[in-house]
Structures are given as structure tokens and as C-alpha cells.
Amino acid sequence: MAIVSIPSLMRDLTNEKSQVEITGTTIRELLDNMESEFPGVKERLCHQDDGIERISPYIGVYVDGVLIERGMRSPIGPNSEVHFLPAMGGGC
């Protein structure tokens, strides 16, 4: 199972857990399984674009330390570490 790190602003959905183990071979499967176990996760991480569910543009998804570029189709290994990170804003 993949280990998913939960951002602090989403821990209210995971009973304050900072990491959870979830099955899935793609980001889409992982999110569907997370939603089944922790309702509300997809609402915070995804949006609809012309009727197609996508990762929010304000969320970076890292699998095994690499920023993914294939979105929901990105593969996940059985022992992958997945991080959903909110985009940073600000600056001068």
C-alpha cells in the first residue's frame, strides 16, 4: 500500500492522522480509495474542468519525491510515498 502524507489542513478528515496507507495503482485510484475511507478528501484536492475531474492547480502531487505531470493517470507503486502539497503563494 502507498503511504500518503496528509497536509495539516486536511487532517480533520483523517482523524488527525499525518500519514495513511491506501491502495491504488494510479493517483485516481488512490484518491477514490481515500475518498471511500475519508469522505471530503477529493473535494479539497480536485476540481471539475469541463466535466473532467482533475487535481486542483493549487495542489502539487509528489510520488516518491518527484512532482507528477500526468495528473490522475500517474502511476503509483505498491510501496510509493505520496505527498499532496498546497501551492505556495506570496513573494515580492
Domain boundaries, the chain: 2-86
Q: Which cell goes with 34?
A: 481515500
The CATH H-level superfamily of 2-86 is Beta-grasp domain (3.10.20.30)
Give per-residue pLDDT as tens, 8-23. Answer: 989 999 999 999 999 9
Q: What is the predicted pLDDT for the residue at 69?
A: 87
Classify 32 as helix, strand or coil.
Answer: helix
Quick one: pLDDT at residue 50?
A: 87
Residue that has been written with the C-alpha cell 505498491 in this structure: 78
Beta bridge partners of 52: 49
How confident is the model at residue 53, as a pLDDT?
92
Q: What is the pLDDT along the chain (92 residues), one digit of tens a residue?
A: 999 999 898 999 999 999 999 999 999 999 999 999 999 999 999 998 888 999 998 899 999 999 998 889 999 999 999 999 987 665 55
> Alpha-carbon distance 76 to 64, whole Å?
9
